């Protein structure tokens, strides 16, 4: 999540600064950092992050369980699941970054209209 967030924030802020430099000095159009940062923080991203954090906490709780049945199941699963399958499963369930990336692409396509 953090890498995607950093890239989107940096791109939008850079676009805002670039547009500020291109404006004439007496222009009434204002590109502010506040509006650039607000454009990067949709409610859908917050909801998706909450779900991701809950899922991560659940996995952490399961992997740190002292229940012998859960420990046995995890030991067997880790022994037979390939690393490639494990990583592929993580990538397939990462909806928050994929949705956020689509939001950013739409923002770019709309020529950063949210910055105005």
Q: Residues 65-82: pLDDT tens digits? A: 999 999 999 889 888 988
Q: CB of 39 within 8 A of CB of 116?
A: no
Read off the pLDDT band of 113 (50, 70, 90): low
Provide the pLDDT confidence category of residue 34 given band limits of 50, 70 and 90.
confident
Whole-structure pTM over 0.75, yes or no? no
Start-to-end Cα distance in the chain: 26
| Whether the Cβ atoms of residue 40 and residue 9 lie closer than 8 Å to each other | yes
Average pLDDT, the chain: 82
47 versus 39: the higher-pLDDT residue is: 47
| CA 49-34-116 angle, 5° bins | 105
**Cα–chain center distance at 3:** 8
Domain ranges (residues) in the chain: 2-115
Least confident residue range of 11-15, 21-25, 85-89:
21-25
Find the DSSP H helices in the chain: 2-22, 33-39, 43-63, 68-80, 83-92, 95-109
Model confidence at 20, pLDDT cuts 50, 70, 90, reads confident
The torsion of the CA quartet 24, 25, 27, 28, rounded to 10 degrees, works out to: 150
């Amino acid at each position: 999540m953090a890498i995607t967030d950093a890239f989107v924030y940096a791109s939008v802020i850079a676009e805002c600064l670039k547009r500020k430099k291109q404006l004439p000095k007496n222009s009434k159009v204002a590109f502010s950092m506040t509006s650039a940062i607000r454009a990067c923080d949709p409610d859908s991203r917050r909801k998706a992050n909450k779900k991701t954090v809950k899922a991560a906490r659940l996995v952490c709780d399961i992997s740190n369980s002292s229940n012998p049945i859960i420990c046995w199941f995890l030991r067997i699963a880790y022994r037979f699941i390939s690393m490639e399958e494990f990583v592929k499963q993580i990538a397939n369930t990462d909806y928050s970054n994929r949705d956020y990336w689509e939001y950013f692409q739409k923002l770019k396509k709309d020529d950063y209209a949210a910055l105005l």
